[in-house]
């Protein structure tokens, strides 16, 4: 009976769930993964693009008022002028040394040497030089825009982008030089033929409207690599390079470039190889289309 008097103890355990922490960490983690994916994609794109493509992208996004050089407006001339009478401000080193030599006149006696001229003349000279600088700056921007447009036009064509190594854009002292050249195992013209492959024709057609929009003239030159053999003894490197340059001129005209934009068409044969130490290299077999860096006689868009 003593066991029956012993009290019963009932233990109740209350189970409580953990506090709700929310899902903010999931959003933060997803943003982190997305950022890392974008970062690695950027690294991949940078490693896959050529230096020319990088420069084209940079030129496309660069502000029009930013100069790439420390002097002048940038561009091909890099802020330099054709001679001492080019674009310069009053007070420069050349201007400070300028003077009019003493002259003698029988009616008025000896003339006094004048240094610098009158204030009105100085003001006119500064205004003229300023207008020349503005014109050159405008032409520089159009020139760089043409280079970027050509790169974009080629990149937008899958067939042409496959032969990117055969196409080159570079700025020289003469202007924007567009090279269409052979590579080992990938020629742009059939051997011994003046007519290009279809892929070469597409690359030429893409640049014709861009060249037409600018007032600058174009010089076309054909080159051949050394060591080629020709079946016709009366038809050699000079004739082939000239014919190829003329065919390129016809193609540019067919796709929009007017004849008044063409300054010259020439065949250079094996002269001036792209690789002087290796004249037999396939890349010496090329066409060069040069957009000449010369200001037009009148500003673009000027009407009488």
Residue 70 covered by a domain: no
Residue 120 pLDDT = 47
Residue 254 covered by a domain: yes
Residue 280 pLDDT = 93
- The number of domains in the chain is 1
- pLDDT single digits (tens) 43-57: 888 888 887 777 777
Domain extent, residue 210, equals 122-299
Residue 43 covered by a domain: no
Lowest mean pLDDT among 69-73, 286-290, 293-297: 69-73
- pLDDT single digits (tens) 183-231: 988 999 999 999 999 999 999 999 999 999 988 899 999 999 999 889 8
Taking residues 93-114, report their average pLDDT: 40
Kindly report the CATH number assigned to the domain that includes residue 222: 3.30.1330.60
Residue 7 covered by a domain: no
Residues in the chain: 304
User: Could you tell me if 243 and 267 are in contact, meaning their C-beta atoms sit under 8 angstroms apart?
Assistant: yes
Residue 257 covered by a domain: yes
Residue 71 covered by a domain: no
Residue 242 pLDDT = 96
Residue 100 covered by a domain: no
Q: Is the dihedral of CA 34, 39, 40, 42 positive or negative?
A: positive
Residue 154 covered by a domain: yes
User: Could you tell me if 252 and 218 are in contact, meaning their C-beta atoms sit under 8 angstroms apart?
Assistant: yes
d(CA 109, CA 209): 62
- pLDDT single digits (tens) 217-271: 999 999 999 998 898 989 999 999 999 999 999 999 999 999 999 999 999 999 9
Residue 90 pLDDT = 39
User: Could you tell me if 220 and 277 are in contact, meaning their C-beta atoms sit under 8 angstroms apart?
Assistant: no
């Amino acid at each position: 009976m003593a066991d029956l008097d012993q009290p019963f103890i009932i233990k109740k355990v209350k189970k409580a769930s953990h506090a709700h922490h929310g899902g903010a960490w999931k959003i933060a983690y997803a943003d982190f993964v997305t950022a890392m994916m974008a970062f690695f994609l950027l690294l991949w794109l940078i490693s896959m693009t050529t230096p020319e493509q990088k420069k084209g992208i940079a030129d496309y996004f660069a502000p029009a008022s930013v100069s790439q050089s420390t002097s002048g407006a940038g561009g091909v001339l890099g802020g330099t002028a054709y001679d001492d009478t080019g674009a310069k401000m009053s007070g420069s080193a050349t201007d400070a040394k300028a003077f009019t030599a003493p002259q003698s006149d029988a009616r008025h006696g000896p003339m006094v040497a004048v240094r610098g001229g009158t204030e009105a003349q100085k003001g006119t000279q500064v205004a003229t030089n300023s207008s020349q600088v503005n014109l050159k700056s405008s032409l520089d921007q159009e020139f760089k825009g043409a280079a970027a447009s050509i790169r974009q036009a080629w990149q937008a064509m899958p067939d042409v982008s496959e032969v990117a190594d055969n196409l080159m854009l570079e700025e020289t002292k003469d202007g924007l030089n567009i090279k269409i050249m052979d590579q080992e195992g990938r020629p742009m013209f059939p051997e011994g033929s003046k007519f290009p492959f279809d892929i070469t024709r597409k690359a030429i057609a893409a640049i014709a409207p861009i060249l037409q929009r600018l007032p600058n003239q174009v010089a076309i030159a054909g080159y051949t690599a050394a060591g080629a053999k020709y079946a016709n003894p009366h038809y050699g490197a000079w004739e082939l390079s000239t014919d190829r340059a003329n065919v390129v001129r016809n193609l540019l005209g067919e796709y929009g470039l007017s004849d008044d934009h063409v300054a010259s068409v020439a065949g250079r044969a094996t002269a001036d190889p792209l690789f002087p130490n290796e004249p037999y290299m396939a890349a010496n077999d090329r066409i060069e289309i040069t957009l000449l860096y010369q200001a037009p006689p009148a500003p673009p868009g000027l009407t009488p």
